A and B are shown apart, each in its own frame.
Chain A
């Protein structure tokens, strides 16, 4: 099995610009009705860090989860 990742999203500082949802290659992130981002498909994350690198408000933390969990 491949590596697994946990996406931690701090919605408090999210301004809802939509960059993360547009850049995520696996559709992990969705826009909430209030315009902010949410983690919709956490299991699909491949840990590419695209959201973390491009979020202008530093909302994301991508943690690698060990296979045993």
Chain B
């Protein structure tokens, strides 16, 4: 065998070639356009200020609806993802069942959240109901995967010890897997809720309730000062929820021996 080309250098060169090629193809290296872009951005940001504080009474109920969509959707998705993760765990079920469960979860995960929004707006009509269902399915795609991976990471000795008592797999799940992964489950659930605030905002774009509806409306009607107000509000809410959630998660996942 001849001398091998260093793998690391090879990967760097390939990534560099691909990057430059895609930059050229996508017009990113077209300098004449950049001047235009900066000029437009400057105009846009001038029009964003000052934010219109007087529309807060309209936006507050809307963002409250978004928070509720995120909350309800996360809880619903959590309830759906538990059984799917249970069925997807190799320590509990055979290859056939886990493959089907994991395939379903994978299929759900490939659909972007906004597409779920559209699907449910068609199914149940405009409004937050569609948003909740969309967020719920989106949640299943992620939580179920994180959960079955957590279930499988449970210490093999604990599984063996509990299984050797002659219990069935529901009992094994209830007494070994669930308590051993409980902190992970809750901490990931909080993270998902945090993340779903953003997903719920997007839901409004397609008329599935919440503040996203206003966001899109302001863009289309060129009301950039209204838009600025909505963005500030979303920013504050997301920061607040992130902070609270982070605090709780840090407490839950503190190691204990």
* Same complex origin of A and B: no
Q: Which residues of B contact A (CB under 8 A)?
A: none
Contact surface of A with B, Cβ cutoff 8 Å: none
